[in-house]
Amino acid sequence: MILPLDLILLLFVFICAIAAITVRDLLSAVVILGAYSFFMCLLWTQMAAVDVAFTEASVSAGIGTVLMIGAVSKTKRRSKD
């Protein structure tokens, strides 16, 4: 655990979360959510939880993003808010 790295990664995660819920284009929101998952994965590596980190990188950032892109491509891409 390294304190400045932890702060910077927490800040990036927070910015990604805010961006993912404010962007109106749903595909961009999903891709930003993938970036959020990878920053989360770095945060967990920094906390010495490597097993959780690679599960997150493969399952949540990989399969989750693919599922959401599939859902967005089957429905509408534009969002009103």
Partner 1 sequence: MFEFIVSHYNYWMYIALMMVGFYAMMAKRNLVKKIIGMNIFQSAIILFYISTSVKRGATVPILEHAHEGHGAVAHAAHAVDVMQYANPLPHVLMLTAIVVMVATLGVALAVAIMIYKRYHTLEEDEIMMSIRRG
Q: Under the rule (CB under 8 A), what is the footprint of partner 1?
A: 1, 3, 6, 10, 13-14, 17-18, 20-21, 26, 29-30, 33, 36-37, 40, 43-44, 47-52, 55-56, 59-60, 63-64, 67-68, 70-72, 74-76, 79-81
29, 72 in Cβ contact below 8 A?
no
Q: How far is the CB of 16 from partner 1 (least distance, A)?
A: 9
- Which tokens go with 19? 């961006």
Q: How far is the CB of 8 from partner 1 (least distance, A)?
A: 12
53, 45 in Cβ contact below 8 A?
yes
Q: Spell out the alpha helix ranges (H) of 23-64.
A: 26-46, 50-55
